[in-house]
Amino acid sequence: MPLFILFLSLWLAGFSTNVFATDITVSLDRSPVSIDESFQILFTASESPDADPDFSPLEQDFTIQNQSQSSRTEFVNGKLNRILQWAVTVMANDSGNLIIPVIKFGNDASPALKIVVSPSSTANKNTVHDDDLYLEVTTNTEKPLIQSQVLYTVKLFRRVNWTNASLKEPELNDAVIEKLADEKYSTQINGVTYEVIEQKYAIFPQKSGAITIKPLVLTADIVARGQQTNSFFNSQITQRRIVKSNSITLNVQPIPATFTDSHWLTAENVELTQTWSGDFSQMKVGEPLTRTLKLVARGSTVGQLPELNNMKIDAQLKAYNDQPISHEDKTTTGIMASREEKIALIPAKAGNYTLPEIKISWFNTQSQKIETATLPEMTMIVTGEAADSVLVATPAPVVVEEKEQKTVSPAKITEIKESDFIWKIIAIFSTAAWLTTLGFWFLKQKIASKKVVEIEESPAEISLKSCVKKLKNACITNDSPTAKTALLEWGKLKFNEMSLGAIATHCEARLRDEILRLNTSLYAKNAEPWQGKELFKTFSENNARVKLATQKSDVLKPLYKL
């Protein structure tokens, strides 16, 4: 029996160790890093681990420079949690794909983690080095596809005090450039500590071929060492410094011949989803049901996302489209774009309706393969009578009762005829009065409709029509300055905005892109001749969709009241 108890105790000890092990996570303060840069490895636990950590396995591929431990408490859902963290500052011994090994905390352990270590930043061809101040520029690819996302990273290294510092933004013709998040941290290079300001940009080249990102220029006043202030004027003694980065050339690839879809879309990841406001398998005649389609693309802009609801459906299934909702999120890893379309479906007749399959072809820039986002074909089951029979009341049948026949005298017959004649006269006068009233009503409606027309043709409406006409003529003749003037007048009247960029934010994705393309062609150097056909086409489609959405919202109101 004692031997059994001993084995049971050992088993329970091992069981409790496995079940109640402390969860330890591992992360980096940044990645990738250079071989001559120091960085921090962070080990985080939500409770005290089994023992102190043993960091000796790190010494195989890294040189440990410093380590520290900290703790903090936080309330989560009313519960007090204690967070423990170990920060280990290291430098890699070699470049390449390295592994941060498993670190033991007694019986507890942290998971392994991959890290990419690049060669020396001082030997980087895109780095202009200075002992005190220098710039480093890199891209995640040098052969992007047209309209695909390129991450452009700018690192500014300094170990001097400065004032009045300014850094120019990157410039690139035939490209859309979006500024992303920035970071600040310190690092050690060859034993020297530098303060680093890191700024990222998302660049989307709009034409194939070789294009060059011009050098960035940093201008700053450097505070002289050993003479921080001037005793007479009590001001800093500074020296103007100008630092330039190298340029980067991108060899933009055209659309692959294997991509046959009419809409070109590149992204790192694409998700196509749908939701319903109710049960589409138990619909009723005349009752609306809303289908929401959503497309999310990582590494793409909203202007690149295609229309989702372009399917043909049964004529007895009425579809009313809301204005699409487009949105962009900027993260440290690039742009996240989304497009949402809501469609109200109202069946006019009972039966089964088939919604066709939705397929979105896109090029995966991670795997370099063509992929397809799909929503499968769906069947809607509708019950109930036809819409007309539901809305129109059926008159009750007339019941004729048979009565006993009686003999009527000639005098009585004469009295009945005279009574019928009087009633006929009354009926004629009543009909005439009703027709006269109806005529007055139609005349009143005609006058009212004329008033409505007069209200619609207000000075503002006349001005808007004039702007549209001017824009159309400018687009036909490819006159970009006149097109800009017309758009500015239109935007002032519609949205009270004074610039093309501000006006574009109020427009649908495709029209927004065309307005920005016009703006770029007006100010970009060596720009190709502007073609206005596409701008007016998207402008007309946008206006039509806005009017249609307004009309449909008015039509839908009584339907929801039924």
pLDDT tens profile 191-240: 889 999 999 999 999 999 999 999 999 988 888 765 554 444 455 677 77
Q: How many C-beta atoms surround the C-beta of residue 537 within 10 A?
A: 14
CA distance 106 to 86: 15
Residue 550 CA, distance from chain mean position: 24
Is the predicted pLDDT of residue 558 greater than 50, yes or no? no
Same domain, 98 and 152: no
Instruction: Show which of 85, 102, 118 is a domain's final residue.
Output: 118
Token duo for residue 389 = 């029979």
Structural domain contains residue 114: yes
Q: Is pLDDT of 51 > 50? A: yes
CB-CB neighbours of 344 under 10 Å:
19
Q: What is the mean pLDDT of the chain?
A: 79
Residue 396 has pLDDT above 80, yes or no: no
| Bridge pairing between strands 325-331 and 358-364 | unpaired
- Choose the most confident range, by mean pLDDT, from 390-394, 401-405, 526-530, 536-540: 536-540
Distance (Å, whole) CA 101 – CA 55 = 9
Instruction: For residue 344, give every residue at least 6 positions away whose Cβ sits within 8 Å of its Cβ, in sequence order, or none.
Output: 288, 289, 290, 319, 320, 322, 552, 556
Q: How far is residue 346's CA from residue 315's CA, in Å, rounded to a whole number?
A: 11
Query: Is residue 410 situated within a structural domain?
Result: no
* Last residue in a domain, options 100, 118, 136: 118
User: Do 276 and 381 belong together in one domain?
Assistant: yes
Mean pLDDT over 131-142 rounds to 90
Which amino acid is residue 58, in one-letter code? L
C-alpha pair distances (Å), 448 with each of 16, 442, 452, 507: 85, 10, 6, 34
pTM score of the predicted model = 0.54
Residue 406 lies inside a defined structural domain of this protein: no
Q: What's CA 322's distance to the chain center, in Å? A: 17
506-520 pLDDT, tens digit per residue, is 887 778 888 888 877
The pair of structure tokens assigned to 113 is 């983690």
Q: How far is CA 204 from each of CA 214, 440, 532, rounded to the nearest angstrom?
A: 15, 65, 22
Does the residue 493 lie in any domain? yes
Q: Are residues 62 and 144 in the same domain?
A: no
Angle between helix 459-476 and helix 533-561 axes, rounded to 10 deg: 140
- Count up the domains in the chain and report the number: 4
Whose tokens are 């009926």? That residue is 427
Same domain, 157 and 222: yes
pLDDT (average), residues 312-333: 87
Which of these three, 252, 280, 312, is where a domain ends? 252
Query: Looking at the structure, do residues 139 and 203 belong to the same domain, yes or no?
Result: yes
C-alpha 280/C-alpha 278 separation (Å) is 6
CB-count burial class (<10 Å; 0-12, 13-18, 19+) for 193:
exposed
CA distance to 159, 219, 275, 297, per residue, from 224 (Å): 12, 16, 63, 49
* Listed residue (157, 156, 204) closest to 179, CA to CA: 204
Q: Alpha-carbon distance 327 to 295, whole Å? A: 11
Please count the CA atoms within 13 angstroms of the CA of 18 that sit on its side-chain side: 6
Would you say 253 and 216 are in contact if contact means Cβ atoms under 8 Å apart? no
The pLDDT of residue 226 is 58
Across 425-440, b (16+ Cβ under 10 Å) vs e yields eeeeeeeeeeeeeeee
**126 shares its domain with 230:** yes
Q: Which of the two residues, 293 and 226, has the higher pLDDT score?
A: 293
CA distances 268 to 114, 148, 318, 363, 371, Å, are 21, 9, 36, 8, 11
My answer on whether 209 and 290 are in the same domain is: no
Q: Is residue 151, in this structure, part of any structural domain at all?
A: yes
Q: What is the SS3 assignment for 118?
A: strand
Is residue 373 located within the same domain as residue 283? Answer: yes
> Residue 552 is part of which domain span?
459-561
| 137 lies in some domain | yes
pLDDT at 397 > cutoff 80: no
Same domain, 299 and 343: yes
Could you tell me if residue 424 is inside a domain?
no
Least confident of 35-49, 126-140, 470-484: 126-140
Residue 551 has pLDDT above 60, yes or no: no
Distance of alpha carbon 28 from alpha carbon 33, whole angstroms: 10
Which pLDDT does position 240 carry in this prediction? 78
3-state secondary structure of 334: strand
Question: Looking at per-residue confidence, does 156 or 282 come out higher?
Answer: 156
Cα–Cα distance for residue pair 219/228, rounded to 1 Å: 20
Nearest to 177 by CA among 215, 205, 216, 209: 205
Give the CATH number of the domain where residue 158 resides.
2.60.40
Same domain, 139 and 207: yes
Distance CA 538, CA 460 (A): 22
- The Cβ of residue 549 has, within 10 Å, a number of other Cβ atoms equal to 15
Q: What is the pLDDT of residue 453?
A: 42
Residue predicted with more confidence, 389 or 197:
197
Least confident of 335-339, 369-373, 517-521: 517-521
Identify whether the C-beta of residue 175 lies closer than 8 Å to the C-beta of residue 144.
no
Q: Are residues 52 and 113 in the same domain?
A: yes
CB-based contacts of 529: which residues, under 8 Å, 6+ apart? Answer: 478
pLDDT of 399 over the 70 cut: no
Q: How far is CA 223 from the centre of its chain?
A: 44
For 462-498, give one letter per residue: b (16+ CB within 10 A) or e: eebeebbebbbebbeeebbebbbebbbbbbeeeeebe
* Residue 373: how many other CB atoms lie within 10 Å: 19
Write down the pLDDT at residue 75: 60
Residue 446 lies in a domain: no
pLDDT at 293: 94
For residue 313, CA distances in Å to 44, 282, 345, 378, 379 come to 55, 18, 10, 11, 11
In a shared domain, residues 63 and 163:
no
